[in-house]
């Protein structure tokens, strides 16, 4: 069975594992869609694959590599990297132009947010880049895909102030149940990567147990966060099956039921 992966960096998969691996992933998802159509499954239950932007100008290259595919969605955003943070107004202007050029192919803005672990610029500069992208998403009626590492309080406060009128996804959630409750109180969707399967990830597992199915996504963050027992190796969307199985066990559910709820939510969010 093929499962929705709500956050993947597919060009990076091609770089780390080769074009053949990317072709295998796309062929597997295409086959799942063809089989689902033959079985007359509702479209909203078919697995999605979401390719995530991290630089203002990366969409044309990603689209040349991947093209239009029924199972594929694109986001456009600016990760808080040193180059982007060096000139926030220019980064935001470039992203605005890219969103305009992408048109309806832009399913969301992001990933964007705060990273106080790598800290490639002071928090105030990171906040300006994040706030600007939240404003672009609101203007264009798009969901927001949020990166937050070691920055819970500022992420929460900025989202509370922004009151984004569309879906907000906290990707690769990296906190515990208290923080999960705070994001849920703001109306956020929470997405878990394969690191919740790691030995010392008790807080992540506790958070995963309490997130309602209607607000839960799963992701690989390909080529990162490979779920156990392949931790440390490059991941692909085909590895996400282990995350579904582990999450279903934690939540006393089934992988099939989780696949349905995650696919339906991903379709609702990304169109």
The CATH classification number of 5-270 equals 3.20.20.140
Instruction: Express each pLDDT in 151-203 by its tens digit.
Output: 999 999 999 999 999 999 999 999 999 999 999 999 999 999 999 999 999 99
**Contact in structure between 57 and 42 (CB atoms under 8 Å):** no
- Structural contact between residues 103 and 47, judged by C-beta atoms closer than 8 angstroms: no
Whether 6 contacts 262, CB under 8 Å: yes
146 bridge partner residues: 112, 170
**Rounded-to-integer distance, Cα 30 and Cα 61, Å:** 21
Residues of the chain with pLDDT below 50 are none
Domain boundaries, the chain: 5-270
Q: What percent of the chain has pLDDT above 70? A: 100
pLDDT of res. 228: 96
Contact 162, 168 (CB under 8 A): no
Residue pLDDT, tens place only, 175-187: 999 999 999 999 9
76 SS3 class: strand
pLDDT score, position 36:
85
The torsion angles phi and psi of 179, rounded to 5 degrees, stand at -65, -35
Is cis: bond before 29, omega within 30 of 0? no
Cα(107)–Cα(132) distance, integer angstroms:
18
Q: Which residues sit opposite 73 in a β-bridge?
A: 50
Residue pLDDT, tens place only, 34-44: 998 777 778 88
Q: What is the separation, in whole angstroms, between the first and last Cα of the chain?
A: 22
- Cα–Cα distance for residue pair 77/207, rounded to 1 Å: 26
User: What pLDDT was estimated at residue 38?
Assistant: 76
Backbone angles phi, psi at 8, to 5 degrees: -145, 150
pLDDT score of 70: 96
The 8-class DSSP code of residue 24 comes to H
Determine the Cα–Cα distance for residues 132 and 99; give it in Å rounded to an integer: 13
pTM score, two decimals? Answer: 0.96
Beta bridge partners of 74: 51, 106
**CB neighbours of residue 107 within 10 Å:** 21
> In terms of Cα–Cα distance, which of 129, 193, 186 is closest to 152?
186
SS3 13: helix
pLDDT at 41: 78
């Amino acid at each position: 069975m093929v499962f929705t992966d709500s956050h993947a960096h597919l060009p990076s998969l091609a770089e780390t594992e080769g074009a053949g691996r990317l072709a295998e992933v796309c062929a597997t998802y295409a086959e799942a869609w063809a089989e689902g159509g033959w079985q007359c499954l509702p479209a909203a239950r078919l697995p999605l694959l979401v390719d995530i932007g991290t630089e203002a100008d990366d969409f044309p290259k990603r689209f040349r590599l991947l093209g239009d595919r029924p199972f594929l969605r694109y986001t456009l955003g600016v990760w808080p990297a040193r180059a982007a943070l060096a000139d926030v107004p220019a980064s935001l202007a470039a992203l605005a132009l890219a969103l305009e050029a992408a048109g309806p192919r832009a399913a969301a803005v992001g990933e964007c947010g705060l990273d106080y672990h790598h800290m490639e610029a002071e928090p105030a500069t990171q906040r300006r880049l994040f706030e600007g992208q939240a404003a672009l998403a609101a203007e264009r009626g798009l969901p927001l895909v949020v990166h937050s590492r070691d920055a819970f309080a500022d992420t929460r406060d900025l989202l509370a102030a922004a009151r984004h009128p569309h879906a907000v996804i906290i990707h690769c959630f990296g906190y515990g149940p208290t923080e999960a409750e705070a994001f849920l109180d703001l109306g956020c969707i929470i997405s878990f990567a394969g690191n919740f399967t790691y030995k010392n990830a008790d807080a992540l597992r506790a958070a995963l147990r309490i997130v309602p199915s209607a607000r839960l996504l799963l992701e690989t963050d390909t080529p990162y966060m490979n779920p156990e027992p392949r931790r440390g190796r490059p991941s692909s969307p085909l590895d996400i099956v282990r995350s579904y199985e582990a999450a279903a066990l934690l939540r006393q559910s089934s992988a099939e039921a989780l696949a349905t709820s995650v696919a339906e939510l991903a379709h609702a969010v990304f169109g």
